[in-house]
Structure formats: C-alpha cells, structure tokens
Amino acid sequence: MAQKKIVKKAVKKAVKKIEKKTVKKVEKKAEKKIEKKVEKQVEKKVEAKKRKLSKTELGHYRARLLAERDRILRELGRITEAINESAEEQEAAKQSYSNHLADLGTDYMEKEKNYYYADQEGQYLKAIEVAMERLDRGEYGLCIECGDLISEKRLEAVPAAELCIKCKDKKEKLERGH
C-alpha cells in the first residue's frame, strides 16, 4: 500500500516535471517566434526607410526638374512681358482718350489675371528649386513626413512632391477638418 503511494507520488512528480518542461519549451518556442517576427518587421521597416532612388532615376528626375524650371522661367518672362505691354497700352489709351471705359476694365482684368498667374508660377518655381536642393542632399523622392519612398507614378506627375500619397491624403483631410 505504502509502496503504491510512493510510486503514485513519483509518477505525479515526473508528470509535473515533464509538463513544466513542455510548457517551458512551448513558451520558449513562441517567444522565439515572436522575436523573429518583430526582427523581420524591424528589418522590413529599416529597408523601406533605407530605400533610395537609383542614380539613373535621380538623373531622370533632375532632368525633369530642370526642364520644369526652364518652362516656368519662360512662362514668367511671357507674363512679365504681357503685364508691361498692357501697362503701356493703358498709358497710351489714357493719353489718346480713344479707349472706352469697358476696354480699360478688360485691360485691368487681364492685368489681374497675369499677376495671379505670375504668383502661381512663382510658387511652383520655388517648389521646384526646393526639390532640386533635396536632390543634391540625397533626400529627393523620400516623403518628408514618414520617410517612405514616394511612388514613381506620383513623382512623374508631381516632380516637386515632398509627401507620399498617404501622407498627402492625411494632410488634406486634416486641412479640411475631418
């Protein structure tokens, strides 16, 4: 009887020991799995942050930015000319008294429109120049908000883009207030 009890106790102890060991093993395995997963995630993130445009791609965007800058400068020249011309015309009209008031009004609107265009183009020119500076610093093509690479499609459409599409949407939603 006593012997049976001892055996029972011993078996119980052994089972408990094995159970404990198994639990520990499973726990360790799970831990290792999680660790590996986290490691992989971090690696992936670092990789995403590290990714940069290739030299060929950078050369392509540099050429595009330069072309855009040339186009804007030409456009600004044209607008300036138009503003000067309309100023001369207005002066001439005032002196000859031949122009109707309506014509002067149209001239005035034309001038306002040209000022507006000049302002818009000027702002765009600034954005292009900032993008070129970022290119020189090796930051071009990376979102200034999250550091991710801006998609090729977006850079093609907006070569001066500083935000990836996700961050741009987020910012626009914030600006709209919802």
- The Cα–Cα gap between 12 and 2 comes to 15
> Any contact of residue 89 with Zn ion (CB under 5 A)?
no
* Count of residues near Zn ion by CB under 5 A: 5
Pick 69 or 154: Cβ nearer Zn ion: 154
Phi, psi of 141 (to 5 degrees): 90, -5
Selected from 57, 107, 110, 145, the binder of Zn ion by CB under 5 A is 145
Of 107 and 145, nearer to Zn ion (C-beta) is 145
Return the biggest CA–CA distance within the chain. 134
> How many other CB atoms are there within 10 angstroms of residue 159's CB atom?
22
Given a contact cutoff of 8 angstroms between Cβ atoms, the answer to whether 95 and 22 are in contact is no
Binding mask 104-143 for Zn ion (x = CB under 5 A): ---------------------------------------x
* Helices of type H across 51-176: 55-96, 101-136, 152-157, 165-176
Strand partners, 142: 149
Residue closer to Zn ion by CB (options 31, 169) is: 169
Q: Does 72 bind Zn ion (CB under 5 A)?
A: no
Nearer to Zn ion by C-beta: 93 or 127? 127
* Contact set with Zn ion (CB under 5 A): 143, 145-146, 164, 167
